[in-house]
Amino acid sequence: MLFGRFTTTLGLCLLLLAQPAASASPGLTEALAARLANAPAEVLGFDSQEISMAAEDRELYAVYHEFAMQPLWVSDVGTGIHARALVDAISDARSHGLYPRDYHLDALQEAWDARQAEELARLDILLTLALLAWVNDISNGREQPRASHPDLFAEAGTGRADPVQVVRDFLAAGDPAKYLDALHPQHYYYRNLRNALPRYQALVASGGWPQVSTGATLHPGDSDPRVAALRRRLAVTGEYTGAEMISEVFDPELVEAVTRFQFYHGLAPDGVAGAQTVAALNVSAASRLRQIEINMERWRWMSHDLGNPHVMVDIAGFDVQAVLDDKPRLEMRAIVGKLHHETPVFSDRIRYIEFNPYWNLTPSIARHETIPRIRKDPNYLESKHIRVFDGWGWDAKELDPRSVDWNNVSNPGRFKFRQDPGPWNALGTMKFIFPNEHSVYLHDTPNHDLFARAARSFSHGCIRLSEPADLAAWILQFNDDDTRWSMEDIQAVLDSQERTVKNLSRPMDVHLTYETAWVDMEGALHFAADIYSRDQRLEQALYAGDGAP
């Protein structure tokens, strides 16, 4: 009984904490009711670009009904600490790649000193609309991408927060500024991009950087008038730090600067200023700024809790990191899906690692690649150590491939093609499995030559790893003591050449992301090519008709 009285008292205390800060006069309450009765979002012209004004009005009605139609943020003497904290956060929107005007900062500031009941009611409603828009955008991301391209950005804008709960939580915050500051992603991926923003905002404000004229490829030692322009361009972004600015000779110091720029932009770091390098140099500062903003938006779409530890795959950057305590502990090169076989974006958990694996060819690969090769070469399957089964069940019967008339197969999907373990296996020595609807996973490869390429989109969608054994050892160190494996244990299994499945006692979070701007382990900002044209389409969704840089 005592416990029941305690919980009832606690509930009442929490409810009281989530109440408007000050009581309002009858005149202010009446003015608020009159405003709410007349499509306030439309009358005030508050267009969040996320939902319709009618939907905004429905959210307003739900909120104010919950709080007995009382003002939430203002009293007869003006605004309270919650209103001030919200306006301060919105004023700082550019530090998150967002725009204060989207939350009607000017209208809020113009109404800030209101003292008449009618204007105070208007300010209170504006603050509520701004709060709902801000909380959704800063914590979940904007919804236009999913609305514009549901097939491409299914992970975006997964749903607006409950408006009543948003207001209740904010009112209950003892430190409203601290509460608002905790809404955005707190991990280092987002934090580092946010730290990079001011520099590019300043570059845009100062006019960006000079262009380098197109022309013949510039090689080390060349003398050309364009070399001086190349120096000036690289000096703006810091790759070139030399004192000589007018020399037209492509000297070693400039070669080093060009090589550094190429490395930071996903190009072959050969120190030669060819067409690709010049094109990357001439991408405007405004475009690079938006590239950073777009990638910050992607991080807001994701769960802010990425798991500790976790594995991060950057599809556009051809990179995989193993992360513990918000710091990358291991990094390696990756090969990802080629165009029309794009690696999907999603999160899951690695459940087990299969050593010396079989490779079950996908029906698409079998239909479009394997069967046509069998028709040309009857010995193809034998040469590749591929077996054929009549069905996909565990008890499916193995077939003699010569008993099948491959020229007249009407239903190729009925056959399962399985490649045996060995040095010929397309998956190499191991694969990391996180069961998913896309049938993608991380794996080794027998062909490591492609990792030397700068751009590495060559797979059918799965992610090939340059150092898979290192990743396996890193992951397995987190297994329970009696199931933990060392690198020596892994090597012994590989040497056995027997298929072995190692379950994870602690499944590991894995995230497949598409990052075209990121900060590396040394603090350097990188930009990647938009290999799947996703930046382009996301920019159209977020900034359509927008005159901002």
- Band (pLDDT 50/70/90 cuts) for residue 20 is low
pTM of the model: 0.89
Q: Quick one: tokens of 486?
A: 């060392």
Write down the number of H helices and E strands in the chain: 21, 17
**Which one, of 186, 465, 240, lies nearest residue 343 by Cα?**
465
Inter-residue contact 117 to 105 (CB < 8 Å) = no
| Statement: residue 171 has pLDDT above 80 | yes
Gyration radius of the chain over CA positions: 29
- pLDDT in the model for residue 167: 97
Q: What percent of the chain has pLDDT over 90?
A: 77
Q: pLDDT tens, 379-431?
A: 999 999 999 999 999 899 999 999 999 999 888 889 999 999 998 999 999 99
| Range(s) within the chain of domains with CATH label 1.10.101.10 | 209-283
- Band (pLDDT 50/70/90 cuts) for residue 549 is very low
- Residue 37, phi then psi, degrees to nearest 5: -80, 0
SS3 call for 445 = coil
Q: Quick one: tokens of 53?
A: 């004004």
**What is the rounded CA–CA span in Å between residue 139 and residue 396?**
49
CA distances from 143 to 53, 328, 400 (A): 15, 30, 53
CA 474 to chain centre: 23
DSSP string, 183-249: SS--SHHHHHHHHHHHHHHHHHHTT--------SPB-TT-B-HHHHHHHHHHHHHTS---S--S--B
**Residue 170, amino acid:** F
Q: Is the dihedral of CA 370, 374, 380, 382 positive or negative?
A: positive
| Statement: residue 10 has pLDDT above 50 | no
- pLDDT in the model for residue 261: 98
Place of tokens 């701007």: 517
Instruction: Put residue 391 in one of left, alpha, beta given phi > 0 → left and psi -120 to 50 → alpha.
Output: left
Query: Taking CA 404 as the corner, what is the angle to CA 403 and CA 406, rounded to the nearest 5 degrees?
Result: 145
First and final C-alpha spacing in the chain: 63
Q: Which of 41-55, 71-85, 325-339, 419-433 has the lowest average pLDDT?
A: 41-55
| Statement: residue 186 has pLDDT above 90 | yes
- pLDDT in the model for residue 90: 98
- Band (pLDDT 50/70/90 cuts) for residue 160 is confident
Q: What percent of the chain has pLDDT over 70?
A: 91
**What is the rounded CA–CA span in Å between residue 251 and residue 215?**
19
Verify whether residue 443 is a known catalytic residue: yes
**Which one, of 424, 399, 401, lies nearest residue 497 by Cα?**
424
| Range(s) within the chain of domains with CATH label 2.40.440.10 | 306-534
H/E stretch holding 328 reads strand 327-337
Domain 209-283, CATH = 1.10.101.10
Q: pLDDT tens, 519-530?
A: 988 889 999 999
| Helix, strand and coil percent figures for the chain, each rounded to 5 | 45, 15, 40
Question: In the predicted model, what is the mean pLDDT of the chain?
Answer: 91
**What is the rounded CA–CA span in Å between residue 441 and residue 361?**
13
Verify whether residue 82 is a known catalytic residue: no
> Which among 82, 310, 443, 460 is annotated as catalytic?
443
Q: Quick one: tokens of 238?
A: 């810091």
CA distances from 144 to 51, 297, 517 (A): 9, 11, 21
Q: Which of 3-12, 183-192, 272-281 has the lowest average pLDDT?
A: 3-12
| Statement: residue 57 has pLDDT above 90 | no
Inter-residue contact 242 to 254 (CB < 8 Å) = yes
Inter-residue contact 388 to 360 (CB < 8 Å) = no
Q: Sort 440 into a burial class: Cβ within 10 Å, 0-12 / 13-18 / 19+.
A: buried
Q: Quick one: tokens of 101?
A: 């005007």
Q: pLDDT tens, 81-114?
A: 999 999 999 999 999 999 999 999 999 999 999 8
Q: pLDDT tens, 429-441?
A: 999 999 999 999 9
CB within 8 Å of 109: residues ≥ 6 apart: 87
Helices (H), 388-434: none
DSSP string, 498-533: --EEEEEEEEEEEEEE--SEEE-TTS-EEE---TTS
Sheet holding 386-390, edge to edge: 359-360, 415-419, 386-390, 397-399
Domain 306-534, CATH = 2.40.440.10
Q: Which of 46-55, 155-164, 480-489, 510-519 has the lowest average pLDDT?
A: 46-55
| Statement: residue 444 has pLDDT above 90 | yes
Residue 527, beta-bridge partner list = 517
**Which one, of 513, 501, 447, lies nearest residue 476 by Cα?**
501
> Which among 82, 104, 460, 462 is annotated as catalytic?
462
| Statement: residue 14 has pLDDT above 80 | no
- pLDDT in the model for residue 226: 96
- pLDDT in the model for residue 4: 41
Q: Which of 52-66, 189-203, 308-322 has the lowest average pLDDT?
A: 52-66
SS3 call for 478 = coil
- Between 464 and 37, the higher pLDDT residue: 464
- Band (pLDDT 50/70/90 cuts) for residue 492 is very high
| Statement: residue 47 has pLDDT above 70 | no
Buried b / exposed e over 502-536, threshold 16 CB at 10 Å, is bebeebbbbbbbbbbbbbbeeeebbbbbbbbebbe
CB within 8 Å of 347: residues ≥ 6 apart: 302, 303, 509, 510, 511, 512
Q: pLDDT tens, 265-312?
A: 999 999 999 999 999 999 999 999 999 999 999 999 999 999 999 999
**What is the rounded CA–CA span in Å between residue 538 and residue 146?**
9
- Band (pLDDT 50/70/90 cuts) for residue 2 is very low
- Between 518 and 48, the higher pLDDT residue: 518
- Band (pLDDT 50/70/90 cuts) for residue 43 is low
Buried b / exposed e over 236-258, threshold 16 CB at 10 Å, is ebebbeeeeeeeeebbeebbbbb
Inter-residue contact 103 to 46 (CB < 8 Å) = no
